[in-house]
Chains A and B, each alone.
Chain A
């Protein structure tokens, strides 16, 4: 049977068994809900569409109501204006929250609770405008001149992000993507880790390895769990895409389709890189309790990568962020941040991708070797050093007595080998 088929059978088992678990299904739903929630919630909360109510009472200039309408439209608010015959009636309506603010005698604003600054600005400028118009008329200034004088100066409002062309919202989007990448790589990497240790602890690994090579078992495991993770990430990214397109006010370049596609690619790369290491380290432990301690170092590297990538959101074009986005251990988290923030030139992700792929190839070779050697070893947790030493400088501590006593019955070849090692031992002790 071809290796590929074996790898596929192992991968298919991983996917089938794991996707059956309730925990997995729950995590898929939760991740989608979080992402969609983060995208949709702000536009629901800050919906300026709900009309505000303004009450007028006392002596009211005739054009105040219409001026308030004009002013509020200009600042993107919809308001309804209600007139009350007496101040008492107006205040009563305010107390009952029928109006948000009551304008008394065009001089005083009465609020139900806290002052709404935006609404206050609209009403106050309307009052000013009406007053200025009345004074201008009495001063003999024509309507046209007045309009020219009081024509508003448009003032644009922009929140400056860390880089040109990207806003605070982009930083948030990049951060969310990076956090999700980190969570996914850690989660699925850990599934590989515990999967390997569980197979070792339950001893099923001996049954499996009697049938297929260790390399295929590890490859299948990494592939199966990875495909499952990829499916989850892809579904989440798709949900994000649908959510952004359904919220029309959403204009965040950091969450566009091309960036999301890169996020998926970097998940695959980051997962493959770390899963190989997790798998190899997992084979060193014999009990599930030892899994976490054995994976400590790689966990540390991953968390360090998370924090530097967090920093990279604030300064994505700094030289250190640039370097880390090429370094294979941090690239899967840092490069997507730089792509989202628009500071990566087109060739940069390509080069980082090539470097990471090369590293993965090396790790497959190295991790596969460690796994093959360590996975059948039972007893206390192995050290990487042990795996290396055992197989590169095999010790042959044959006791001299034993070799001598059984020497006569032996073939010349064996006897030679034994006397050779006796000589070695003698040399060592001498």
Chain B
């Protein structure tokens, strides 16, 4: 379990982390969200001692983190980078051995991962001979090479094509299932919604929402009604407890409170048009995010 305990970091003019506390549990995928400049990268760097906190602490399994613990961590920085002129295999071997593992052991991992990510025949090419997407894959292997207990990825999905996104998502899920703690930041909320059990949303360095995604969604007092109608648009303004979130081509999304009489909503729709479909749901992650960051 990774724990941020009132982590605080002040740069010259901005508070990048401001009393930031949350946990990422083992065996689970935790999505780390926040608008640009919220402090995500700073928080992740703090895990690896790349940023010195002014106050507070980051703990791993209830103990402060030292170099020895980091040998069991994997990290993919926001700014990707490896040695451009070094061969892929040599590079991964080197990074694996820096974590303190033996040559034979690392070699086995390198082969397995290269095989798994379809890079086996590029192993003796220089890194800069690879396409951007393949370089990203090597970077991912670099983070996984020591079979980490904690995997921290800063925007791992940026710059990937849809197929690569799907395989990356699958891989992260597998790693988490195997027992590792996986914390990753992303701006692709739909993806995070599909993928993560837990989310942490920060803004201006402070945690504004954190916990199990399903529970967070359920806890919101508002519900959302998605109605698809055919024919003249119903007059939603007569519903006092509902607010139109979006409306186009007969698709309407209403924000209602939990006490709203759904029969009345359906009746209003049927009054002027044919009802095609109807759904009553808690908010999406995007809506949670917007509410949390706006407040």
* Interface residues, chain A, with chain B CB atoms under 8 Å away: 1, 5-6, 9-10, 13, 16-17, 199, 202-213, 376, 378, 394-398, 402, 406, 410-411, 414, 417
Contact call A207/B13, Cβ cutoff below 8 A:
no
Binary A-proximity of B96-128 (CB < 8 A = 1, otherwise 0): 011110000000000000000000000000000
Q: List, in ascending order, chain B residues with CB within 8 A of A212's CB.
A: 67, 98
CB closest chain-B residue, reference A209 = B50
B257 to chain A, nearest CB (A): 25
When the two chains form the complex, which single residue of B12, B73, B94, B206 contacts A210, counting CB atoms closer than 8 Å? B73
A276 to chain B, nearest CB (A): 22
Given known contacts A1-B100, A13-B94, A210 and B81 CB-to-CB distance under 8 angstroms: no
Contact call B77/A207, Cβ cutoff below 8 A:
yes
Q: List, in ascending order, chain B residues with CB within 8 A of A203's CB.
A: 77, 79-81
Interface size class of B (residues with CB under 8 A): 35 or more
B76 to chain A, nearest CB (A): 8
Known contacts A1-B100, A211-B70; 9 additional CB pairs below 8 A are A17-B85, A199-B83, A204-B82, A207-B75, A208-B98, A210-B50, A210-B73, A211-B95, A396-B10
Q: Which of B50, B81, B82, B97 has the most CB of A within 10 A?
A: B81
A383 to B79 Cα, complex, angstroms: 23
Q: Which of B170-187 contact A (CB under 8 A)?
A: none
Q: List, in ascending order, chain B residues with CB within 8 A of A209's CB.
A: 48-50
A378 to B81 Cα, complex, angstroms: 13
Q: Which of B232-257 contact A (CB under 8 A)?
A: none
Contact call A202/B83, Cβ cutoff below 8 A:
yes
Given known contacts A9-B94, A395-B12, A204 and B99 CB-to-CB distance under 8 angstroms: no
A378 to B75 Cα, complex, angstroms: 19
Residue pairs across A and B with Cβ atoms less than 8 A apart, 9 shown, are A1-B71, A199-B83, A203-B79, A203-B80, A206-B77, A207-B81, A211-B70, A402-B15, A410-B19
Contact call B75/A210, Cβ cutoff below 8 A:
yes
* Interface residues, chain B, with chain A CB atoms under 8 Å away: 6, 8, 10, 12-13, 15, 19, 45, 48-50, 54-55, 67-68, 70-71, 73, 75, 77, 79-86, 90, 94-95, 97-100, 139, 142, 206
Contact call B77/A211, Cβ cutoff below 8 A:
no
When the two chains form the complex, which single residue of B13, B67, B94 contacts A213, counting CB atoms closer than 8 Å? B67
Contact call A206/B86, Cβ cutoff below 8 A:
no
A205 to B95 Cα, complex, angstroms: 11
A383 to chain B, nearest CB (A): 14
A213 to chain B, nearest CB (A): 6
Q: List, in ascending order, chain A residues with CB within 8 A of B100's CB.
A: 1, 5
A394 to B83 Cα, complex, angstroms: 33
Given known contacts A397-B13, A410-B19, A411-B19, A207 and B95 CB-to-CB distance under 8 angstroms: yes
Contact call B83/A210, Cβ cutoff below 8 A:
no
Q: List, in ascending order, chain B residues with CB within 8 A of A208's CB.
A: 95, 98
Contact call A398/B15, Cβ cutoff below 8 A:
yes
Contact call B67/A207, Cβ cutoff below 8 A:
no
B45 to chain A, nearest CB (A): 8
Q: List, in ascending order, chain A residues with CB within 8 A of B79's CB.
A: 203, 206, 378
Q: List, in ascending order, chain A residues with CB within 8 A of B10's CB.
A: 394, 396, 398
B196 to chain A, nearest CB (A): 23
A362 to B259 Cα, complex, angstroms: 72
A373 to chain B, nearest CB (A): 9
A113 to chain B, nearest CB (A): 57
Contact call A204/B81, Cβ cutoff below 8 A:
yes
B40 to chain A, nearest CB (A): 15
Q: List, in ascending order, chain B residues with CB within 8 A of A398's CB.
A: 10, 15
A378 to B78 Cα, complex, angstroms: 13
A16 to B90 Cα, complex, angstroms: 10
A203 to B41 Cα, complex, angstroms: 15
Contact call A414/B19, Cβ cutoff below 8 A:
yes
B155 to chain A, nearest CB (A): 14
CB closest chain-B residue, reference A403 = B15
B111 to chain A, nearest CB (A): 20
Q: List, in ascending order, chain A residues with CB within 8 A of B6's CB.
A: 411, 414
CB closest chain-B residue, reference A414 = B19
Contact call B77/A202, Cβ cutoff below 8 A:
no
Contact call B80/A211, Cβ cutoff below 8 A:
no
A394 to B53 Cα, complex, angstroms: 12
